[in-house]
Structure 1
Amino acid sequence: MKNLTYLFYLLPILFYAQDDLLDGLEPDQSTTVTSTWKSLKVVNFETTKLVAKNEFQLIISHRFGSVENGFDDLFGLDQAVTRFQFVYGITDWMHMEASRSSFNKTYQLASKFKLKEQETTGFPFSISAFTAVDINTGLDKEVLPKIEFENRLGYTAQVIIARKISKNYLLKLAQHFFMKTL
């Protein structure tokens, strides 16, 4: 009778062990890697980061001229190029941009798409695509009398591949395609 009592107490432990074996058959849950990039651009290059859905950002950027002329150009400040950029997140995987640059009075319409995100135990990279159309309105019709609208256009396509290696290290590869029709 004493042996039956021990068996009665040990029997639930065996059932619990079977549940552990079944848990091993379930696939590992993979989560996406976050905060690969903190901004939309690094210097003048796009990153894999997108603006969140229904979020709007206004970005004002400056590119300064050469400091060689010293105080004559206020160390490049007089030659600065300013760009106003409006970015809106259509979805969590796509945003649209409209911008205007003082360089050649250029307007740009662009979009960025998130194609694949890096996962902790799955896909090893984040992949995004960027496309843009530029309109150069600074070309003078008097200097270039035969210029047509299509000659003012420029196109950009970019594939961005990034990997967050650790908290402090990132790797980015970007393939750029540019076409100017002038």
Structure 2
Amino acid sequence: MKFLTTICLLLIAPVIWAQEADLLSLVDSGGQKEYVTGAFKSSRVINGHSVEFIGKNVLDVRILHRFGRISDGIGEFFGLDQAAMRMGFDYGLGKNLTIGVGRSTAEKELDGFIKYRPIQQATGGKGASPVSVVLAAGAALTTQKFAADAKFTDTKHRMAYYSEVIIGRKFTEAFSLQVSPTYVHRNLVASQTDDNDTYAVGIGGRLKLSKRVAFVADYHYVVSGLNKDLYKNPLSLGFDIETGGHVFQLHFSNATGMNEKAFITNTTDSWGSGEIRFGFNLSRVFTIGKKKNTPGS
């Protein structure tokens, strides 16, 4: 109950605070609506989607690595001898519309998503919204071979789906926060103690430390649908480093999966037990068409 109350307060607080004072309106906008950008440096916080978009006609090539557990020690070179990877390609169909596909080595999984922003945070002007609202939905297909004695082997049993609503706000030039209620459906689950439907709430934040460096945090609390004795809530902490057209992200996480189905429903490592993995995300954008609209800093 305390958790749900906290989430409700997070959802309504931006609206209340915006009525009292807009922290981003320190410069007179002359009554013109100005959209707020740069809440996050990337279209992803770490694992989860952010309220930011890559822009129209922009291709974002994303290479993600998750190494082994640091707690495995020197024998596994503190996890660096092991690695899981995802390569993804996100494309901006419009300022507020992005599609993407990717392939992960974990479970040899293919995934795709569509992401749309009906409301963008703005200052000044009539009808300016104090928050951004983003809708995202995706699917994942496991392509690794089933065990020889597997009972369910049809393609439909390899499928999983997710949908989420992301509500975020850039409170100041240095601080942004978002909340993302998420629903995941798996056609096939590994254990009878798990449900096909999983509900989670994600929280993502960014604290700007310098012009090109920011601290980021990404956490998903699983409300229901998983065996809590086996599965853990994914938590990732890291730093965004912007270098021209690249956004390089270094982080530590207890999650190996790199799409919503994977990191929300398949995380079994625990921060409390020291089961932490070092990883990085590398994002490089290319302008395919004439128009470019990338997130600000």
TM-score range, shorter chain: 0.7 to 0.9
> 1:137 corresponds to which residue?
143
Q: Which of 158, 164, 167 pairs up with 2:164?
A: 158
For the residues of structure 1 that align with 2:107 and 2:60, how far apart are their CA atoms? 24
Please give the alpha-carbon distance, in whole angstroms, between the structure 1 residues aligned to 2:115 and 2:81: 32
Give the aligned residue type for 1:44: N
Question: Which runs of no fewer than 5 residues in structure 1 stay unpaired?
Answer: 1-26
- Tell me which residue corresponds to 1:148: 154
Q: May I ask how many residue pairs the two structures share in their alignment?
A: 156
Whether contact under 8 Å (1:139, 1:152) holds in the other structure is no
- Alpha-carbon distance between aligned partners in 2 of 1:48 and 1:145, rounded to the nearest angstrom: 40
Q: Could you tell me which residue of structure 1 aligns to residue 60 of structure 2?
A: 57
Identical positions, percent? 28
Runs of 4+ off more than 3 Å: none
1:174 Cα deviation from its structure 2 partner: 0.7
> What root-mean-square deviation, in Å, do the aligned CA atoms of Structure 1 and Structure 2 show?
1.6
TM-score, with length taken from structure 1 = 0.80
Report 1 or 2 for greater relative contact order, CA contacts < 8 Å, sequence distance ≥ 6.
Answer: 2
Q: TM-score, normalised by structure 2?
A: 0.50
Matched residues in 2 for 1:139 and 1:40: separation?
A: 32
Task: State the distance in 1 between where 2:113 and 2:130 align.
Answer: 27
| Structure 2 spans left out of the alignment, 5+ residues | 1-29, 189-297
Query: What secondary structure does 2:156 align onto?
Result: helix
Distance 1:103 1:49 in 2: 26
State how far apart, in whole Å, the 2-side matches of 1:109 and 1:143 are.
Answer: 29
Which structure 2 residues correspond to residues 65-144 of structure 1 after superposition, within 5 A?
Answer: 65-121=68-124, 122-144=128-150
Measure the CA separation in 2 of the matches of 1:37 and 1:69: 33
Which one has the bigger helix percentage?
1
Question: Which of the two has higher C-alpha Rg?
Answer: 1
